Structure formats: structure tokens, C-alpha cells
Amino acid sequence: QVQLVESGGGLVQPGGSLALSCAASGIGFSVYGMGWYRQAPGKQRELVAVITSGGTTNYADSVKGRFTISRDNAKNTVYLQMNSLKPEDTAVYYCNARYDSKHNYWGQGTQVTVSS
């Protein structure tokens, strides 16, 4: 049974930082591409950052220079360090694990709220 469990969301003031974690089980973690997506109220889910099995990263333009995605294959965990947070970063953040179209999994999401 595949499980992706996100943690680390919460309320933070503008300019602050949060670190999200996603612990995976039930998959061969090291061969999966891992990603973070987010969905704000009334908007479609969008890519935030991805990291391939080889460690190559890619970011949405809106978060470049502020967010960092990383992975620890020994711990089956992917991280998202978010700095200089803005109110427009407020969303539910979802962890994704993808090997191919048949092996594509989502976590339950964690709320991030940026507000003073």
C-alpha cells in the first residue's frame, strides 16, 4: 500500500519560512520522481517543484530563488524548504510520487497559510 504523508504546514507571517516533509512508503522511493504541487481556493493545482530520481530539480517561476526541493533516499523523504513566503503562497500543498502514468501517487495535502 502506497502512502505519502506530508507534514510541516501551518500559519506563517509574510517573509517567514516553513519546511514541508513528505514521507513515502510502499514504493521504491529512489527510482521515483518526487514533486510538490499546490492548490489555492478556486484555482487549479499547479506545480511548485520537482526533483528527479537523479536529483535534477525544476521550479515554478513564482518560487524560484525562494523554495528548495530536496530528497533523502535513505529516509524515503522529500522536502520543500520555503523562504520569503508571500500571501500568494497560501494553498494546500501536495506531495507527488511519479514513476510512470500507472505509478503516480498523491499525498493528502497540508495547508500553508501566509498571513499577518
Using one digit for the tens of pLDDT, what is the confidence trace for 92-108? 999 999 999 999 999 99
Phi-psi label, residue 5: left if phi above 0, alpha if psi -120 to 50, beta otherwise: beta
pLDDT in tens, 106-115: 999 999 999 9
Of 62, 105, 65, 85, give the one whose Cα is nearest residue 8: 85
DSSP 3-state assignment of 87? helix
Question: Nearest 5°: CA angle at 92, between 44 and 51?
Answer: 85
pLDDT in tens, 3-20: 999 999 999 999 999 999
pLDDT in tens, 22-48: 999 999 999 999 999 999 999 999 999
Q: What is the CA radius of gyration of the chain?
A: 13
